[in-house]
Structure 1
């Protein structure tokens, strides 16, 4: 492997393909937006986009214009939607690169239609059905901005959408949002609208709607159910990412010895410990202290504070330097990792920093290695 520190994330692109195929079976007649924002939830936006499109995804969705332009620079020509706000002064760039934007605010929309654009820009009207993040909240404003966008000569209104806040935890509020959205759009002529979409992963795994044309596949694309207890599935998804490291030193410490910054761990017996080259600068934050990782099929506790670049683990016995450590993967799913530090899988994955290389595999073989921050290459 062409990187120089034994910590890396392994991404199974076959799992991405499999997950797309599972969702296509569930929603065979709908367009699929693959949500690849935040560097594809930490998996790598370019690599994930390419295989997802080959697997049958039709569109991509990102958070900001920078992410969209990065995909275009990588040669990806599929339709891309920016889900966040784009500055009005940058709209012409989006239009130039055929990137659709979210029209989320009446003031923004009123200024958009007055821009002297040379190339028409595609937009999706964002409706706030109860999340109270971006979007329009009243039937009057929805109707007014919808008609304004449709009439604008340099704007192509191709989508109308909303976002569900509680599809993974509160069925009653989900129903409230669905009914609110239906009410807010009931006076709109949607016959020319290409994409009506309300379903994120948590929604599409449990519901089917006749009035929408597309779904947004986010966490499910990467093989993770947002909440398996709340959303039981009759099929499986395959997690695509595993996180590995290797032990860089093994040592014997004595009863009473202390470990790490702040000396927060005291050995209760003579113990074997291992040093692992991953820390909070890699996204493995200090909250992981006291949790376990997997070494030779056994769970080993992270002892002492997680450092910027390294952490220490208690071993059941002496092992060889270079022994593999699994932080996310077989025996340690990301859902468990997240639950044990009081967060969600999304955050664990998105926090993996660009210091951690991504190793891509298909058919069990390495196809690409992205050194992320260090992709500029070795000094000559």
Structure 2
């Protein structure tokens, strides 16, 4: 969304985003990296992200939903687009028409694909312990690969799994990896795409996997991680707003809905034009923002379109506020929200303008 009137915006550094892609590429070489751009590229703006990656030679990506894949196909005719999430059998005609790659997540979809009368690009997902999507029985998976390969209308592009755990429980991780390794070893014809690792495992586990061909780079493409063993990444997203009003409150005055902040002495309050309608959630109450290289605390309840900050006499209307991306990191905001960094960036509203650094 482009809006020159509202002074709240996201700064997206596409140069740093590509540096994170290169870091993953160097880490797993000669394997290849599949950038994951689901959920509007984790809130960063999927069209701008893919346009930049394609300009740097990237020719494949992954999303979660059929709708996301179709949105990309409208703009990028030759891009290989892999749908990681579930699709329905009534979606197969559209998937075939637009030359999308789909995932076979269960026995029912496997049967539907085998009966379908038009070409399909398919990836077979193995459930190694996530209990979310994928076929569980190893023997059935091996038989399925044979059935799919024999069908002249089906291109079995890949086989993959998703790890439920990386470093927290080594025995459970080992159980998942051994199951997948055994299945791949049993395949008479191995598909060109064999992948296990997402961001949490790329930098710590992937080198030990000699039978995979690709990795899926999700949150770490955007400079973030939940694995403390991940090497330093390049930050991509910063959130800015501006001071739209300064109020001098006196004892007896109160701030915002519920009047739950009432100063006992004269205090300056800055009103910022950002709120939970922008994805800056009410849980951020009492957290901090940065103004003029100094931290200031939020007070009162966060509104849909505004919030309040306790400031001093040096702060003026029009001053730029860094909500996160410098002194205050995405991870700090996630801690205040009792969540993970994924949620902070993906919940950024479409009404916030994205400004791209290239």
Partner of residue 29, structure 1: 30
Partner of residue 91, structure 2: 90
Question: CA 1:232–1:134 in 2, change beyond 3 Å: closer, same or farther?
Answer: closer
5 Å matches for 1:143-292?
143-167=142-166, 169-191=168-190, 193-207=191-205, 208=207, 209-228=209-228, 231-233=229-231, 236-292=232-288
Question: CA 1:20–1:104 in 2, change beyond 3 Å: closer, same or farther?
Answer: same
Partner of residue 41, structure 1: 42
5 Å matches for 1:45-84?
45-75=46-76, 77-84=78-85
CA contact (8 A) 1:143 1:188 kept: yes
Q: Distance in 2 between matches of 1:51 and 1:322?
A: 32
Q: Distance in 2 between matches of 1:10 and 1:76?
A: 28
TM-score w.r.t. structure 2 length?
0.95
**Displacement after TM superposition at 1:63 (Å):** 0.7
The DSSP-based 3-state class of the residue aligned with 1:116 is coil
Partner of residue 115, structure 2: 114
**Displacement after TM superposition at 1:176 (Å):** 2.1
**Displacement after TM superposition at 1:335 (Å):** 1.1
Higher relative contact order (CA 8 A, sep 6+): 2
1:264-302 CA deviation, whole Å, 9 max, x = no partner? 212132110111111111111100001001111111111
5 Å matches for 1:359-370?
359-362=355-358
Question: CA 1:276–1:125 in 2, change beyond 3 Å: closer, same or farther?
Answer: same
Q: Distance in 2 between matches of 1:298 and 1:141?
A: 59
Question: CA 1:53–1:190 in 2, change beyond 3 Å: closer, same or farther?
Answer: farther
**Displacement after TM superposition at 1:76 (Å):** 5.0
CA contact (8 A) 1:50 1:76 kept: no
CA contact (8 A) 1:139 1:185 kept: no
CA contact (8 A) 2:160 2:195 kept: yes
Partner of residue 128, structure 1: 127
Q: Distance in 2 between matches of 1:247 and 1:211?
A: 54
Q: Distance in 2 between matches of 1:254 and 1:330?
A: 32
Q: Distance in 2 between matches of 1:226 and 1:214?
A: 21
CA contact (8 A) 1:21 1:56 kept: no
The DSSP-based 3-state class of the residue aligned with 2:186 is coil
Q: Distance in 2 between matches of 1:180 and 1:256?
A: 66
Q: Distance in 1 between matches of 2:57 and 2:168?
A: 29
Q: Distance in 2 between matches of 1:188 and 1:176?
A: 19
CA contact (8 A) 1:11 1:358 kept: yes
Contiguous gaps of at least 5 residues in structure 2: none
1:2-40 CA deviation, whole Å, 9 max, x = no partner? 422111111011111111111121122112110000000
Does structure 1 residue 310 correspond to structure 2 residue 306? yes
CA RMSD of the aligned region, Å? Answer: 1.6
Contiguous gaps of at least 5 residues in structure 1: 363-380
The DSSP-based 3-state class of the residue aligned with 1:196 is strand
**Displacement after TM superposition at 1:318 (Å):** 4.2
The DSSP-based 3-state class of the residue aligned with 1:140 is helix
TM-score w.r.t. structure 1 length?
0.90
Q: Distance in 2 between matches of 1:290 and 1:168?
A: 32
The DSSP-based 3-state class of the residue aligned with 1:321 is coil
1:199-241 CA deviation, whole Å, 9 max, x = no partner? 101111112111000010001111112232xx152xx311111
**Displacement after TM superposition at 1:250 (Å):** 0.6
The DSSP-based 3-state class of the residue aligned with 1:182 is helix
Partner of residue 369, structure 1: none
Q: Distance in 2 between matches of 1:56 and 1:166?
A: 32
